[in-house]
């Protein structure tokens, strides 16, 4: 493996038209790798800090470019450790979690090329997982909360294709349901404005009506609930302006709808509510995955606390919540060792970088989120397309 020769950043727009950074890392052997960093609108207060793109790019082009030159590109721990040390804060707010992560990802990409390995396989090797597997997609087809300008307080209403033979079939079937959902809403004279994650974001309906539209679309498209599709919800309780949900509301939902994943039903520091709900749910069923996103923030210490408290049995994995791949792999190792389901996830402000698709396969995540199966949103679809490509390779 060769050494890093240069790291350069420039400013690009994400899917919301907001500024973010793109980093190009080059090695002495001439290998070049590019990474770009998404941003979230619904955030945990425990995430790594994303500083303004202009400042992050400057930090890459000056401090980090200078300090990282000459390090073996394959020595990810050395690269990440040095960046953390140079930053000197607990949340990467000095150099920027966005600047640090862009370099961490670009380093892994370049090293995979020089090792002549597919990126997903190289990431699996880094994370200590030698066998790759394909995830079940979670497709956010109705957007609410901070991801839309409507009356829906829940942030995501998602399709979960569970009854198909391949990842490609799962995506194709989901596109069919997504299109049918649009037709149904159009017939009911709902506005078909799109939310941040490429799903429909109609006004004038409430959470329960949105759920019913989802069920109708699945059935109208010729599929069966439970057998072909289950449903996922992201409540995003920490982001609710007037949070008024409780465990009883969720238990009623679970009785009425075939829910497989329930994400962030309580706010990020309400540990008692999480534990009480999860323990009670385990007595009723073990088929529902209660997922912590804002609760865990892809942070090993918070996941350890959650495991000890029995607060959830699933975790969202978002690279930019923690800021380096080395720290992320600590989280995926901990989750795997404690039978915590992993959901590798995008952000609401996305880029064309499909890195998280390789990451999901590499670490063996059970689930994968990249937004709606909307062919007009390439920053979402290219991630699903990448996993379809990986599926062909693995076969």
**Are the C-beta atoms of 264 and 289 separated by less than 8 Å?**
no
Phi then psi for residue 83, to 5 deg, are -65, -40
Rounded distance between C-alpha atoms, residue 68 and residue 327, angstroms:
18
| Counts for the chain of helices (H) and strands (E), in that order | 14, 11
Q: The tokens 């995003």 sit on which residue?
A: 236
- Is 121 marked active-site? no
DSSP 2: -
Q: Among this protein's residues, is 197 annotated catalytic? A: yes
- Quickly count: other Cβ atoms within 10 Å of residue 222's Cβ: 11
Choose, from 114, 156, 197, 263, the residue flagged as catalytic.
197
Check 318, 330, 350, 379 and give the catalytic one: 318
Distance CA 278, CA 309 (A): 10
CB 92, CB 100: distance < 8 Å: yes
How far is C-alpha 166 from the geometric centre of its chain's CA atoms? 21
Contact call for residues 234 and 263 (beta carbons, < 8 A)? yes
Q: What secondary structure does DSSP assign to 264-301, as a single string?
A: --S-TT-HHHHHHHHHHHHHH-SS-EEEESTTTTT-HH
Cα dihedral sign for 147, 148, 154, 157?
Answer: negative
Using an 8 Å Cβ cutoff, are 157 and 211 in contact? Answer: yes
Tallying the residues shown for the chain, one arrives at 395
3-state secondary structure of 232: strand
CA distance linking residue 344 with residue 44, whole number of Å: 16
The CA distances from residue 279 to 88, 285, 341, in Å, are: 39, 10, 16
Which residues are catalytically annotated?
197, 318
């Amino acid at each position: 493996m060769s050494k890093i020769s240069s790291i350069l950043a420039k400013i690009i727009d994400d899917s919301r038209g907001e500024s973010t950074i793109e980093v190009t890392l080059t090695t002495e052997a001439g290998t070049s790798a590019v990474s770009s960093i998404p941003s979230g609108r619904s955030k945990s207060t425990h995430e790594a800090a994303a500083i303004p793109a202009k400042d992050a790019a400057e930090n890459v082009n000056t401090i980090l470019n200078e300090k990282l030159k000459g390090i073996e590109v394959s020595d990810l721990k050395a690269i990440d450790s040095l960046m953390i040390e140079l930053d000197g804060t607990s949340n990467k707010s000095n150099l920027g979690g966005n600047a640090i992560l862009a370099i961490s990802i670009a380093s892994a990409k370049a090293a995979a090329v020089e090792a002549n390995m597919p990126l997903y396989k190289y990431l699996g090797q880094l994370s200590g997982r030698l066998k790759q597997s394909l995830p079940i997609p979670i497709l956010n087809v109705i957007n609410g909360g901070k991801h839309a300008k409507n009356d829906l307080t829940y942030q995501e209403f998602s399709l979960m294709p569970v009854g198909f033979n391949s990842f490609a079939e799962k995506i194709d079937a989901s596109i069919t349901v997504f299109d049918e959902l649009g037709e149904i809403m159009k017939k009911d004279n709902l506005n078909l404005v799109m939310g941040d994650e490429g799903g429909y974001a109609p006004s004038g309906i409430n959470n329960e009506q949105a759920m019913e539209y989802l069920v109708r679309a699945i059935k109208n498209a010729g599929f069966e609930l439970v057998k072909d599709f289950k449903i996922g919800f992201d409540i995003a309780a920490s982001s609710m302006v007037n949070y008024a949900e409780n465990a009883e509301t969720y238990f009623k939902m679970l009785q009425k709808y075939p829910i497989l994943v329930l994400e962030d039903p309580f706010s990020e520091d309400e540990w008692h509510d999480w534990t009480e709900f999860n323990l009670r749910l385990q007595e009723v069923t073990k088929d529902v995955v209660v997922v912590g996103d804002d609760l865990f923030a892809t942070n090993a210490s918070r996941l350890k606390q959650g495991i000890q408290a029995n607060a959830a049995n699933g975790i969202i994995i978002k690279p930019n919540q923690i800021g380096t791949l080395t720290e992320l792999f600590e989280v995926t190792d901990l989750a795997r060792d404690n039978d915590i389901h992993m959901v590798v996830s995008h952000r609401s402000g996305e880029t064309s970088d499909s890195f998280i698709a390789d990451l999901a396969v590499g670490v063996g995540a059970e689930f994968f989120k990249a937004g709606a199966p909307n062919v007009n949103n390439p920053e979402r679809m290219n991630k699903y397309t990448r996993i379809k490509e990986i599926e062909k390779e693995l076969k």
